[in-house]
Amino acid sequence: MKVVIAKTAGFCKGVRGAIEVTMNAIQQRQKGEDLCTFGPLIHNSQVLSMLAKKGVADESLIERCAGKKVVIRAHGIPPYSRQKLHEQGAILLDATCKRVAKVHAAIKRHARHGYNTIIVGDADHAEVIGLLGYTENRGAVINRAEQLDDFPPEWDKVLLVAQTTQNEEVFREIEEAFRKKYPNGIVKNTICDSTQERQAEVRQMCSKVEAMVIVGGHNSGNTLRLAEVAQDCRIPTFHVETQAELDPAVMGRYSCVGVSAGASTPNWIIRDVVDFLEAMDPGVGRKLRVRHLLDGLAYGNFFIALATALLVQTAAALTNLAGQASFSLMAAGYAFAMHSLNVYLDQDSIELNDPGRAAFYFKWRPIFMGSSAVCLGIALALAYQIGFPNFLAMFVLILLGVLYGVKLFLPSDWQRFPAKIKDIPTSKTFLVPMAWAAVCILPYFTDYRPVTVAYAGWIIFLLALVRTTMLDLLAVQGDRLVGKETLVVLAGEKNTLLFVVGALALLAVTALLGPFAGISTGFSYFLLVPAVIYGIFLKIGYARKLREDPIYEVMIEIVPIVTGLCAIGWNLTH
């Protein structure tokens, strides 16, 4: 089965903002502090379940919010509810979508001047209830053009707005009738741009596929609108929350299916639906088995350990020094242990990006912890065999790696500073490549050619930097939601894309200058190949909707592995 994925599917800015506010509140919560949301934060039961596990209650009664930190959900609330929450001693954290807040402001501004407000939307939807609160009791809700007949024709001050997730075609139909009845009335199309783009894309997709699957909460207004748009195109439409609701017998009738999703739907749920549909092709069984094997190797940090081990050989090829197997084993042990241990410091991000992977780590936690301890012991022993300075360097690297996610004890007047190394802005993006480079040149840093060794470390740093930043682009959704300070989160995806391009250009220039300056062997020229391959992968990955796919992660990890294998060949023949 061919599956076409909508480019606009998944979290919108408003949803991301609401979850960011909540996750920040969770991270900053003091002991004994109660945290809740006033009503469901977003319309997605899976995300709400994750928040519940973190102790974030979903309260619908104002009295139950007394004395708590209360997150105002993305849909917003009426002003009288906000006032009553303040009276109950609640501390409010406003996560209202900015687009919704703009509608609040528009209604409030016109209501002060005596305008009646007509809202196109669903009367029982949380957002609409909030909008009505700003109308000064001069508001009404409709969802059909003929309902305009219920209003007095003599109104001279009347405003027409829309629920931000309203069906664009329905609003246009009502707008046309409204202008005929109230030629002096004011119309503000307050449907969110994201909603309009999603609906337009679904209409386009319906002409290219045999059926549409819309993924999202059954009580999500914008998801329901997407399903309505597809149904209006007279195409079989299936609105599901998860892939478990799809019937294989029914879906097997189609050879080409489109998939879109509501603004509250995490990418991993969309990906599960896509995987389910693609797996219905009887010819993909073997591909799926290979995929599951690669997934397991990626989850187990096998590729990370192998890549680091082979980058030691890359350093040897660049410096013309001996690339002993023990050096590679030492680096692999360090990389495996550090990445495995730090997995458990990033559980929030992993769970939001890929719950299956989070479950894998939870199940095998004792194995990972035990094997990491063994690997660190082996790394220290091998470093000691090289020399005591190398042992001390390895000890420092391990200490810094262990402290990476540990809360530091800072003076009281330093509380504005990050409490953990991993909370330092862009720490993950730059410190991981620095650690890789350090451990790869650790066997050689006492060599009498420090410039050559430093050059090799710089090359490895750039390779690892590109690799890490590209992986950050994959995990941006979960990283953003838990507040992880990666370069992507701080600078945005487009700026990070430019940064990676710049790093690849710097890698290419450095590779060309090394032999010319006499500080590297001719193997340096070969590094132009991984630079080009990473550039191709970057273009492919940025265009993919579901970039968190483990297969794409494996593709990124394979580049330094192949580079290292070529370095072994170079070392054996030179």
Q: Which two tokens stand for residue 381?
A: 């022993």
Q: Which two tokens stand for residue 322?
A: 């001996």
CA distances to 100, 117, 130, 134, 271 from 105, in Å: 9, 13, 12, 8, 37
d(CA 375, CA 272): 34
Do 48 and 42 form a contact (C-beta atoms < 8 A)?
yes
Do 120 and 161 form a contact (C-beta atoms < 8 A)?
yes
Q: Is 136 a catalytic residue?
A: no
Do 119 and 143 form a contact (C-beta atoms < 8 A)?
no
d(CA 295, CA 548): 12
Place of tokens 């095998």: 364
Element holding 97 (H helix, E strand): none
Place of tokens 């202008």: 179
d(CA 469, CA 428): 9
432 burial (CB, 10 Å; 0-12 / 13-18 / 19+) is buried
Select which of 33, 59, 87, 127 is catalytic.
127
**How many other CB atoms sit within 10 Å of the CB of residue 343?**
21
d(CA 60, CA 44): 16
Do 6 and 214 form a contact (C-beta atoms < 8 A)?
no
Q: How far is CA 224 from the centre of its chain?
A: 24
Residue 279 phi/psi, 5-degree rounding, is -70, -10
Do 406 and 470 form a contact (C-beta atoms < 8 A)?
no
d(CA 218, CA 222): 10
Q: Which two tokens stand for residue 37?
A: 């949301």
Active-site residues: which are they? 127
